[in-house]
Structure 1
Amino acid sequence: MPYLGVFLDSRGFSSADIGQLTAVITLSRIVGPYMWALLADKSGKNLRTLQLGCLLSLATLSLVLVVDSFWGLTLVIGLMMMFSTAILPQIEVLTMSCIQGNSTRYGRIRLWGSIGYILLTIFTGMMIDAYSAEAPVIITLAVLFLLFVGSIFLLEPERLIASQQAQASIWHKILTPVFLCFLLSALLLQVSFGPYYGFFALYARDLGYSGQATGWLIAVGVIVEVGIFVIAGGVIKRCGVKWILVLSIGLTSFRWALLAAFPDNIYLLIISQMLHAFSFGMTHAASIHFIHQYFGKIFQSRGQAIYISVAFGIGGALGNFGAGSLWSQGEGAELTFWLASIAAFCAAICLLPISSKHMSTAP
């Protein structure tokens, strides 16, 4: 995903095209997560749902190798994104089920995703330099294939709830001020990520950095993120979900301000990347902890799905579309990141009215 903008740019698309395409395909994350979660809840087969998502993602993304038109790529990548939404929520549910919701153990397991991300962003940047901007697609296909093979060796955890309980209504959990404020905050946070996810690699290239250097810049944030995941569980227990989220999202606002104001300063650029430990690492760990506690065993898959659909689906689409509209081949980069900073600041403000106690226990 960090190199999608570079890949699309190499296919001849403008920044407006890239923003529109990424916005449209991100919309597929609205319907997909809930559809897969419902399937997982009704069947009780989280692992089988994960494996099916891997296979369908692999099959659809492979079509990118032969499709070159705007709407063709939009359809193919959009379908891949929709199918891939079966993967992460089910991994999260399987993990939290196996560790009985222990946030300390969760962080230590989740850090391996960050390690994989570090290795792949650096490697992909090197491959772009050595070969072409088509490299991210080939590497992603290989990763999806290995992910499917790896999933074959996993075991389905013992089902802790009866399948008929999955039919229970979830709306009494959703329509509360606590969850709605959390959801709005998560949505605005993902809106703020639009310029970064869609254009950071292009931004770095325009600033004169090579593909390998860009890979290292992306990896820097994830390297410190690994350390955050190690300590996240203990920090969440001591400080509580609310204040961890407020602090982390506030630092995200500061991060985008640094990218807007000092893009040519390599030291401040590295600092801004290191803040990814809070922008993603700590916010993700705290959010997953909150959802696990808030929805409990019965609604966990659908709770994850609603979170991903609204935050990453709607929020991501709005962020990508807005960034693409403002970017203007790099001329609007500064304004775009300033607006991202404002969006993140508003996301932190949304959490202030919530009681810390209400974010630590289920209603």
Structure 2
Amino acid sequence: MTVNRSEAWNAALRLGAYYSALFMAVGIQLPFWPLWLKHHGLDPSQIGLVLASTYLVKCIVNPLVGHLVDRRGERRRPMVWLAVAATVTWLGFTVADGFWPILLLTMVSVGLWSGIMPVGEALALMTTHRHGIDYGRVRLWGSLAFIATATLCGRLLVGHSPDVLVWMIAAALALTALSCAALPDTRVAVAERGAAPPLRPLITSSAFLLFLAAGSLNAAGHTVYYAFSTIHWKAAGIADDTIGLLWSEGVVAEIMLFALSGRVVRRFGATGLLLIAAIAGIVRWSVLGLTCEVPALAAAQILHAATFGCTHLGAMHLLRTVPAGLAARAQGIYAAVAMGVVPGLMSPVTGHLYETLHGHAFFVMTGLSALMAVAAFYLFRQRTAL
């Protein structure tokens, strides 16, 4: 494959801008949105239900968007419209009050937002393959943006109302819309789509089912962390800016992994990375369940490079083996099941777990990581593409 360096550089720059804008929004919403929910009177069980809706809506939106995108062959234009709609609906949180209005608005706004991601990953994988770009080195710009926004947001919240989060997330989503409009217009040709294999053999294969199981258990294993770590650490007396640094620190390690992604994937393989992620999860969640001492938390947060970074790299490199005409649907199914249904069903349980067990709820996540290790081990033994 002949690579035009100028075109490759241009494509990498556009993808980097997209990931930066997208993960600016994630860097604000993921660590700190539970504080906004709590500020508006929601108790831990209600927070768990609201966050569960953000997962469960993916099981409808992502496969539907993936189906429509694969049918039309376009990638960029649907992403732009989804980002614009997500920006407009997110501003509804400026007037939303009470559990039910917040829940319904969450389902709409996050549904639109989540629809962008699997299509963006399909576009990114096709573009990086076409131009010979290292996917991890493009994706790391999203992690850098996450760090910057999580750190700055943590500092901004010191002495300020959580209501400012609504405007910050809406602004980041507007930037995401602009960055989507600048993406390479990567499409699947009509002839290629017509020749694509049917979906059923993929979704019934043992390798794909083990892959979904490993990814689902990993995502479910992060639910207590995403929903209640900020609240738990704040209750333990840790300052908002320190919490922002703890979130950011894990992503620094993730960035280092992504910067070396080519070597790491060649050394361990995609399935080997999933197994590493599971073992790291057992250690990480056990530490978070045992203590709120900042030095111990800081050490455990380094393992985010494995629990999230290795899982993501492994998943994306496995999904790269799917035929181009199925790429958006495969991404949609993975996002719907592993990032939607399973953690969505787990989230209401995490609210109850945190109410009853508090920090010891992290030990349940340790058990889920152990189950992930079993699925990843059997997938590793198969040594096959999807």
Matches for 1:96-135 after TM superposition, within 5 Å: 96-100=125-129, 105-135=134-164
**Alignment partner of 2:332 out of 301, 305, 308:** 305
- What RMSD over aligned residues (CA atoms) do the two structures have, in Å? 1.8
Q: Which amino acid aligns with 1:60?
A: T
Matches for 1:255-274 after TM superposition, within 5 Å: 255-263=284-292, 265-274=293-302
Tell me: CA distance 1:101–1:243, structure 2 relative to 1, closer, same or farther (3 Å).
farther
**Alignment partner of 1:91 out of 120, 125, 128:** 120
**Alignment partner of 1:280 out of 289, 308, 313:** 308
**Alignment partner of 2:348 out of 321, 324, 328:** 321
Q: CA deviation at 1:233?
A: 2.2
For each residue in 1:259-318, what CA deviation from the matched residue of structure 2 results, as whole angstroms up to 9, or x when unmatched? 00122x22110011111111111210111100111x121211000000000011112212
TM-score (norm 1): 0.94
Work out the CA distance in 1 between the residues paired with 2:192 and 2:93: 38
Helix, strand or coil at the partner of 1:38:
helix
Helix, strand or coil at the partner of 2:325:
coil
Return 150-159 or 343-352, whichever deviates more. Answer: 150-159
Matches for 1:41-120 after TM superposition, within 5 Å: 41-100=70-129, 105-120=134-149
User: Are residues 1:175 and 2:204 paired?
Assistant: yes
Q: CA deviation at 1:97?
A: 1.3
Q: CA deviation at 1:103?
A: 8.7
Q: CA deviation at 1:323?
A: 0.9
For each residue in 1:148-182, what CA deviation from the matched residue of structure 2 results, as whole angstroms up to 9, or x when unmatched? 12222223025355375288520111101111111
Partner of 1:341: 366
Q: CA deviation at 1:320?
A: 1.4
% same residue: 24
| Contact 2:40-2:98 at 8 Å conserved across structures | no
User: Are residues 1:151 and 2:180 paired?
Assistant: yes
Work out the CA distance in 2 between the residues paired with 1:270 and 1:73: 33
Return 91-100 or 280-289, whichever deviates more. Answer: 91-100
| Contact 2:287-2:296 at 8 Å conserved across structures | yes
**Alignment partner of 1:226 out of 255, 263, 268:** 255
For each residue in 1:65-109, what CA deviation from the matched residue of structure 2 results, as whole angstroms up to 9, or x when unmatched? 111121111111111111112211122122111121789710000
Q: Which amino acid aligns with 2:320?
A: H
User: Are residues 1:351 and 2:376 paired?
Assistant: yes
User: Are residues 1:203 and 2:232 paired?
Assistant: yes
Work out the CA distance in 1 between the residues paired with 2:256 and 2:342: 27
Partner of 1:292: 320
Tell me: CA distance 1:90–1:352, structure 2 relative to 1, closer, same or farther (3 Å).
same
Return 35-44 or 96-105, whichever deviates more. Answer: 96-105
Which blocks of at least 5 consecutive residues in structure 1 are unaligned? none
Work out the CA distance in 2 between the residues paired with 1:103 and 1:344: 34
| Contact 1:104-1:230 at 8 Å conserved across structures | no
Which blocks of at least 5 consecutive residues in structure 2 are unaligned? 1-29
Partner of 1:12: 41
Helix, strand or coil at the partner of 1:240:
helix
User: Are residues 1:23 and 2:52 paired?
Assistant: yes
Return 150-159 or 233-242, whichever deviates more. Answer: 150-159
TM-score (norm 2): 0.88
Return 313-322 or 274-283, whichever deviates more. Answer: 313-322
| Contact 1:104-1:233 at 8 Å conserved across structures | no
Q: Which amino acid aligns with 2:239?
A: S
Tell me: CA distance 1:158–1:299, structure 2 relative to 1, closer, same or farther (3 Å).
closer
Q: Count how many residue pairs are aligned between Structure 1 and Structure 2.
A: 357
